[in-house]
């Protein structure tokens, strides 16, 4: 089992951190840190995950805020049309439920 550094525990409040296996839950861990991570978490993320993995999550996932999605798409060089959660249908749904 590949464990996470203890300083990342604060980002995984709803799960048993000690059972969070990096090999099994890569996408979940990546999404959570991309959305909420601080500088230290992002430094670790950049060492652990490839640009290809980050791009794949951005293209396929809907759980990002527009602010985080825009930041990460610029970091990895994706156009806004490639990022699922920046598409008009998703943004319209999000506005019904979230205040940004």
Q: In terms of residues, how long is the chain?
A: 100
31 shares a domain with 69: no
* pLDDT of amino acid 86: 86
* 44 plus 63 within the same structural domain: no
CA distance linking residue 5 with residue 51, whole number of Å: 21
**Of the candidates 49, 64, 84, which is a domain's last residue?**
49
| pLDDT > 70 fraction of the chain, expressed in percent and rounded | 88
Which of 30, 49, 68 is the endpoint of a domain? Answer: 49
Give the domain range for residue 60: 51-100
Note whether 28 and 58 are same-domain residues: no
pTM: 0.87
- For 26, residues 6+ apart whose C-beta sits below 8 A from its C-beta are 49, 53
20 plus 33 within the same structural domain: yes
Question: What token pair was written down for 13?
Answer: 């409040």
């Amino acid at each position: 089992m590949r464990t996470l550094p203890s300083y990342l525990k604060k980002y995984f409040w709803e799960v048993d951190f000690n059972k969070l296996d990096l090999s099994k839950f890569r996408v979940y861990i990546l999404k959570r840190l991309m959305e909420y991570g601080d500088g230290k978490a992002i430094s670790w993320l950049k060492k652990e995950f490839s640009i290809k993995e980050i791009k794949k999550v951005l293209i396929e996932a809907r759980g990002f805020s527009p602010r985080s999605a825009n930041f990460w798409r610029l970091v990895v060089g994706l156009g806004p049309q490639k990022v699922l959660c920046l598409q008009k249908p998703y943004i319209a749904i999000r506005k019904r439920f979230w205040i940004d």
